[in-house]
């Protein structure tokens, strides 16, 4: 009788677990890469440049933000690379987030161990394995309505691109708005800066730095200009500011 009772209890427990995952619309994924987050989209807010998504992961609900893309409420997604920002204010939404994760992408497909990203948990400050492609350079859209006053003793983004050869190897100062921030790729932060000026089709300056600057903030960047820089893994730039200090 005791054995039968134990079997009934175990069967009920297994059934409860199965029903729990079925009700949540989630399936347990085997062979996931280390550090991958499996989440379900609960709420989506679209802005001109970003998609804000409230997700659930286990019993936890939190907000994340990615470059504008289509996300379906109720669908399961996966993400790996990201960083947390506390007390973040979105100017476009006129909304404060106590905590939000800025992530590179929400994948509709599981990120498996044999996939393109093999290891490393960015939430613990770790980087993916050396030599593994992380997607490379992606063009950032020109943000409308930006008008940033030129820094004292500095130059504009347009002036830099128009006279790039004269600034090569020199330290310059540029003030602009951060439109994209990608943390700790190849042991450095990558910042996309725009000030409302442009030279032809060049309006976005990429800056590498160890400083963390939230998206939407107007910062002053001072660093050395390099031309035709190739970092590998698809990160190649005609003009870039490297090892910058940000204020």
Tally of domains in the chain: 2
pLDDT at residue 24, rounded to an integer: 47
pLDDT per residue as tens digits for the range 192-230: 999 999 999 999 999 999 988 888 889 999 999 999 988
Structural domain includes residue 141: no
Average the pLDDT over 92-105 and give the result: 87
Q: Which residue has the higher pLDDT, 207 or 49?
A: 207
Domain CATH number, residue 105: 2.40.50
Domain end among 75, 108, 124: 124
Structural domain includes residue 11: no
Residue 156, pLDDT > 90, answer yes
Both 168 and 86 in one domain: the answer is: no
Both 168 and 239 in one domain: the answer is: yes
Structural domain includes residue 96: yes
Both 237 and 183 in one domain: the answer is: yes
Both 115 and 74 in one domain: the answer is: yes
Nearest C-alpha neighbor of 49 from the set 138, 159, 117: 138
Average the pLDDT over 175-197 and give the result: 87
Residue 135, pLDDT > 50, answer no
Domain CATH number, residue 192: 2.40.50.140
Residue 80, pLDDT > 50, answer yes
Both 189 and 110 in one domain: the answer is: no
Average the pLDDT over 58-63 and give the result: 92
* Helix (H) / strand (E) containing 45: strand 37-46
Both 115 and 161 in one domain: the answer is: no
Structural domain includes residue 132: no
Both 195 and 240 in one domain: the answer is: yes
Structural domain includes residue 100: yes
Both 118 and 186 in one domain: the answer is: no
Structural domain includes residue 23: no
Question: Which residues is 40 bridged to in the sheet?
Answer: 56, 76
Both 39 and 107 in one domain: the answer is: yes
**What is the DSSP track for 103-164?**
ES--BSS--BTTSS--S--GGGT--PPTT-------PPPPPTT---PPPTT---HHHHHHTH
Which domain covers residue 197, as residue numbers? 157-246
Residue 26, pLDDT > 90, answer no
Structural domain includes residue 75: yes
Q: pTM of the predicted model, to two decimals?
A: 0.50
**Helix intervals (H) in the chain:** 2-24, 157-162, 164-167
Main-chain phi, psi angles of 11, to 5 degrees: -65, -40
Domain end among 83, 102, 124: 124
Q: Which residue has the higher pLDDT, 203 or 105?
A: 203
Both 167 and 111 in one domain: the answer is: no
Nearest C-alpha neighbor of 63 from the set 47, 52, 77, 71: 52
Structural domain includes residue 57: yes
Among 12-26, 127-141, 166-180, 220-234, name the most confident range. Answer: 166-180
């Amino acid at each position: 009788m005791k054995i039968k009772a134990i079997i009934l209890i175990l069967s009920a427990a297994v059934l409860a677990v199965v029903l729990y995952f079925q009700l949540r619309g989630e399936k347990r994924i085997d062979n996931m890469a280390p550090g991958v987050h499996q989440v379900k989209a609960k709420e989506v807010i679209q802005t001109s440049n970003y998609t804000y998504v409230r997700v659930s992961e286990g019993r936890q609900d939190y907000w994340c933000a990615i470059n504008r893309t289509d996300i379906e409420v109720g669908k399961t997604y996966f993400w790996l690379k990201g960083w947390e920002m506390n007390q973040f204010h979105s100017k476009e939404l006129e909304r404060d987030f106590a905590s939000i994760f800025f992530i590179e992408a929400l994948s509709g497909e599981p990120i498996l161990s044999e996939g393109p990203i093999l290891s490393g948990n960015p939430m613990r400050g770790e980087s993916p394995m050396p030599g593994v492609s992380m997607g490379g350079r992606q063009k950032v859209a020109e943000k409308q309505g930006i008008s940033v006053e030129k820094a004292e003793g500095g130059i504009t983004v347009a002036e830099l691109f128009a006279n790039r050869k004269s600034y090569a190897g020199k330290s310059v100062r540029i003030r602009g708005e951060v439109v994209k921030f990608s943390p700790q790729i190849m042991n450095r932060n990558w910042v996309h800066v725009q000030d409302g000026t442009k030279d032809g089709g060049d309006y976005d300056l990429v800056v590498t730095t160890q400083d963390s600057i939230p998206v939407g903030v107007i910062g002053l960047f001072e660093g050395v200009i390099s031309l035709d820089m190739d970092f590998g893994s698809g990160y190649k730039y005609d003009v870039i500011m490297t090892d910058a200090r940000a204020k």
